[in-house]
Structure 1
């Protein structure tokens, strides 16, 4: 959000402006119990807005079922990664609608589906840019994974030592990619939605908050991973409830973590 330069002596306002680009919004220190509290609040929000929650959950469920259907029809798991690129493009926008539901509840309002859909346009340029960034990162990971897979031994009965280069590099790059994506995206979308800031400010704020609360964020990442695994293990049906709850929990995590302007009206 742009900051106006100080008014010079003499009473005349300077025409120049100092853009607040790629700044870091201050954040709080977290406790290890916080992620579980966010999930508790998410359950409350889901119960308070069941129909709107199920609408967004249905969208995520359709996407998950489509991935499983693509694997079944194609007879290969290789279609999963391309499908996840599409998922990453659509996911941030669906999550924005969920954040708005929690925001409406915070203000004591009855959540409205159309209001939450309109929230997707609140900072559309930055959010689209962020979605494209995630998709590009996923495509990059697909190419790296393909190169690492070349190290996989041809002989399936090979000794474990022959698998070590593949396992070591795969684990290393997979961990780096996962940490990077999680750090970038942990709080970026809520920041962009509530503050209407640029992409770099949102990412810088998210990365800083994750870095300074690393232990707590590991717990939060494990909770997210466990929920997503359950969602896919149920052939996507579990996403009907899991994804709305993760969206609500992320919003409450943002409110607890980032020193934000609480809460202000947005229509």
Structure 2
């Protein structure tokens, strides 16, 4: 493999990645993602319904456990799980692009990866990250509200000065964690669906894409976050459309930025 790259590319690990992404590429990816969703809506709706169902179950469980105050950190961290849910969507887009036959067995089988457990390893990282965020949120809660005298089952605590400070600090910490997680998954999971590489190599490539296209990839992160949170407001139902479109679009952005082997 040569380390020489064409103009507009940078060499990251075993592949060349584009270093000339523009905002227009994000629009093109979204348009392509919408076309994939419209072409095969059943797959997108299935994975979105699974994600929405899990979110509603989590909300119900927190209310049953008299822990309503934890809805905010849980909702804030829930998008961390979306990249793993989108693996099946990446496979739909990959197969449609390659002209391969689509079937439920093939699409669901993508969650197992290529028989090398690399995607499952990334799945473990995804769920550990979500658990770690909840632990961090619990620590921030304890620092600011342990002496508030307001029960953990009440949302009224967030209207107190301590509660608002907690939200401010938690938002900053959560944003930093979410950005780090986004950087390691945005291209790594599509790459694991696309190629036989180990998850560490895929993470390195994903970080390289972030470094080579910092402004555009940050804009994509902000757009994803804004659309996901907006879609979560009406009982998560907006995710039935937003999640599959973003999943398919992420595949197309990956295909735009990651070049073929030398």
TM-score when scaled to structure 1? Answer: 0.76
How far, CA to CA, are the matches of 1:33 and 1:241 in structure 2?
22
Point out the more displaced range, 190-199 or 111-120.
111-120
Q: Over aligned residues, Cα RMSD in angstroms?
A: 3.2
The match for 2:108 is: 117
The answer as to 2:86 corresponding to 1:95 is: yes
Q: Secondary structure at the match of 2:144?
A: coil
Unaligned runs of 5+ in 2: 2-11, 149-156
Greater Rg over alpha carbons, structure:
1
The match for 1:10 is: none
Q: Does structure 2 conserve the Cα–Cα contact (< 8 Å) formed by 1:42 and 1:246?
A: yes
The answer as to 2:142 corresponding to 1:150 is: yes
How far, CA to CA, are the matches of 1:71 and 1:254 in structure 2?
36
Q: Does structure 2 conserve the Cα–Cα contact (< 8 Å) formed by 1:41 and 1:249?
A: yes
TM-score when scaled to structure 2? Answer: 0.78
Q: Secondary structure at the match of 1:260?
A: coil
The match for 2:201 is: 201
How far, CA to CA, are the matches of 2:243 and 2:229 in structure 1?
11
From 15, 24, 43, the equivalent of 1:25 is 15
Aligned residues: 240
Q: Does structure 2 conserve the Cα–Cα contact (< 8 Å) formed by 1:64 and 1:232?
A: no
The match for 2:29 is: 38
Residue by residue, what CA displacement relative to the aligned partner does 1:78-126 show, whole Å, maximum 9, x if unpaired? 267579889856x555322111111121123453222211222333511
The answer as to 2:255 corresponding to 1:255 is: yes
Q: Give the deviation of 1:157 after TM superposition.
A: 11
From 111, 125, 128, the equivalent of 2:120 is 128
Residue by residue, what CA displacement relative to the aligned partner does 1:117-150 show, whole Å, maximum 9, x if unpaired? 1222333511111111222233333333322233
